[in-house]
Structure 1
Amino acid sequence: MDSSEQLQPIPTTFCPNLKTDSKENIKAVIFDIYGTLLISSSGDIDQVSLNKDNMRTAMEAGGFDLSGCKEETYSFLLDQLQVQVKKQHKELKTKGHPYPDVDIFEVWKNMFEATESEGLLKLSGSESWEDTIMVFELLSNRVYPMPGMKEVLLAIKKMGIPMGIVSNAQFYTPIIMNYFLTGEFSTNQHIDFFEEDLSVYSFKELRAKPDTALFNKFIPALKSKYNIEPSETIFVGNDMLKDVYTATKAGLRTVLFAGDERSLRLREDDERVKGMFPDFIINDLKQLLKIIG
């Protein structure tokens, strides 16, 4: 992770709408991660670069024996990665998950077993799935903190305002976030600064935004434990459908983060967001502090 390349956001033409002249009553802040708190080189966790060199490097990091591997091994693995994701999505949809997210360990296990069945790879059983998957992700979709991320989170924390997360993510997302927040590597699945009962990750629920079930999961704790209504809560995200539309449906107020051209998703062709506007627009995370006041 020390070799993670520093990224800078690509500015957009959006002007902020902070409504700072009105008296706001914001008691909790919930964040998206990719494209909002983290700059993503692809703009989104779902849009990784499928590259044979990245697969080879990741497998080396995971302790795979690559002595018998040919170019077709890596090509087959990358094909299987997509096949297994689609297969798991289909299975989850039949179980009532309209926007499924995968169990990434099952995906990788199945794709490697399929590759071994083809005689293209020999597994020893001692390989590290965690290391392999994480290195592949970091190489395929480079990430870096959005400018002001830690500063803003610290400032909100000092205000005593509870913070949570609703994000399309995988097991490595909390690991990456904690590294950028603390400078230390830990496998802890809880991210510093955020309330655990206000944080929901797609990989744990096998559901992804824009499924409102992710928001409905933390709202009971928001009300009962923190005595905060959804209408007193803002959700900060970069996607008009996955973030603004879904959070609005769940009764939250919304902040569209328009600070990076890579990740800004207006979804103008989607009927669900036509005529919909976020409560606020920011192009710099520090502007959140003006909204909260």
Structure 2
Amino acid sequence: MFKEIMAPYVTPLLPVPTSINTEIHIKTPVHAVIFDVYGTLFISASGDISIAQKNSQTAALLKTLLEKYEISLSAPLLTDKVFQAIESDHAVKKNKGIDFPEVLIDQIWMQVLQTVDIKTARRFAVEYEMIANPVYPMPHLDETLKSLKKSNIPIGIISNAQFFTPHLFDLFCSAFPESLGFDPDLIFYSFEYGYAKPSLFLFEQAVRQLTQKGLNPIDVLYVGNDMLNDIYTAHTIGFQTCLFAGDSRSLRLRENDPKCEFLKPDAIIKKLNQLTDMIRSS
């Protein structure tokens, strides 16, 4: 559906190496693996060292995009309006008791673009996202997913995401997550629940599903690149944790956050394919 819209914007990316050492201290055998998406399964170009050049390129692409959709606002003003709409939506939801709210970005764009045509809003949102936050598969993604699927280990997703996120798998892996081995019962996208990490809400939903499958939290390995959003939350819910430190652009150590100050992941990997041997030997 969105594959054809996304494809022209794809630019190959490589991870920027980190100096962190690989560590493996898995406590008990791993019987299920759950992943974060951005910065873990897909490289995210945000934080790239060539940010000035990318800003220049981004500005030109956004200008072309706005002209394509006949939008009279400048790119900076449009972006400001989006952030304001998101902040307003967050405030309303926080007043309703949601600790870390997630928006529906297509609804945000309908509001900002002043349109009732959700199809147009979604097409624009996809193109805007591909320009503003370029992504590319993390090295060894395909082989790692195939290996996990072959091993019959349940795999899932808990990730901050929007409606277009599953389409990235279709774009880069030629199939949606469910066809790549991800258990449909273990896929939790923030936009579908209205809660974003580091809320524990998505993790609590996952634990309920895992329990129905006869799995305890300690049986599960959660893999993510952010010590707060991923490792702290997964550890709090009882999962074993694996910090993915394969790309310095997206690695978030959160060393100044009190919740992460003394927190240690059960494993640290720098390549996705390290998971296979680690799980096999757990």
Q: Which protein is bigger by CA-based radius of gyration?
A: 1
Summarize the Cα distance change of 1:191–1:83 in structure 2 as closer, same or farther, 3 Å threshold.
farther
Change (3 A) 1:76 1:189: farther
Partner of 2:38: 34
| Structure 2: distance between partners of 1:258 and 1:126 | 37
Tell me which protein shows more helix as a share of its residues: 2
Q: Provide the rounded CA distance (Å) in 2 between the counterparts of 1:149 and 1:181.
A: 9
Residue of structure 2 equivalent to 1:112: 113
What is the total number of aligned residue pairs between the two structures?
268
Letter in 1 for 2:16: I
Alignment of 1:18 with 2:10, yes or no, is no
2:171 to 171, 174, 179: 179
Amino acid at match of 1:273: C
Structure 1: unaligned runs, 5 residues or longer: 114-122
Moved more, 135-144 or 123-132: 123-132
**CA–CA distance in structure 2, aligned partners of residues 194 and 99 of structure 1:** 25
Partner of 2:199: 211
Q: Please tell me whether the aligned partners of residues 202 and 209 of structure 1 are also in contact (alpha carbons under 8 angstroms).
A: yes
Q: 1:272 aligns to what SS in structure 2?
A: coil
Gaps of 5+ in 2: 1-5, 49-53
Identity over the aligned pairs, expressed in percent?
A: 38
1:241-290 Cα offsets, whole Å, 9 max, x none, are 00000001111000000110001100001001111100001011111112
Q: Secondary structure at the match of 1:197?
A: strand
The answer to whether the 8 Å contact 2:28/2:218 transfers is no
Quote the residue 1:120 is aligned against.
none
> TM-score w.r.t. structure 2 length?
0.88
Instruction: Confirm or deny: 8 A CA contact 1:10 1:259 kept in the other structure.
Output: yes
Which runs of 4 or more aligned residues in structure 1 lie more than 6 Å from their structure 2 counterparts after TM superposition? none
Q: Aligned in 2, Cα 1:89/1:191: closer, same or farther, shift over 3 Å?
A: farther
Aligned-pair CA distance for 1:149: 0.5
Q: Please give the root-mean-square deviation of Cα atoms over the aligned residues, in Å.
A: 2.4
- Return the TM-score normalized by structure 1: 0.84
Q: Which residue of 1 aligns with 2:100?
A: 99
Q: Is the counterpart of residue 85 in structure 1 residue 73 in structure 2?
A: no
Q: What's the offset of the Cα at 1:60?
A: 5.3
SS at match of 1:147: coil
* Residues 198-277 of structure 1 mapped to structure 2, 5 A cutoff: 198-224=186-212, 226-277=213-264
Contact preservation (8 Å) 1:177, 1:191 = no
1:57 CA displacement: 3.5
Kindly provide the CA deviation profile for residues 106-141 of structure 1, in whole angstroms up to 9, marking residues without a partner as x. 21111122xxxxxxxxx6959711111001100111
In structure 2, the CA distance between the partners of 1:191 and 1:74, relative to structure 1 (3 Å rule), is farther
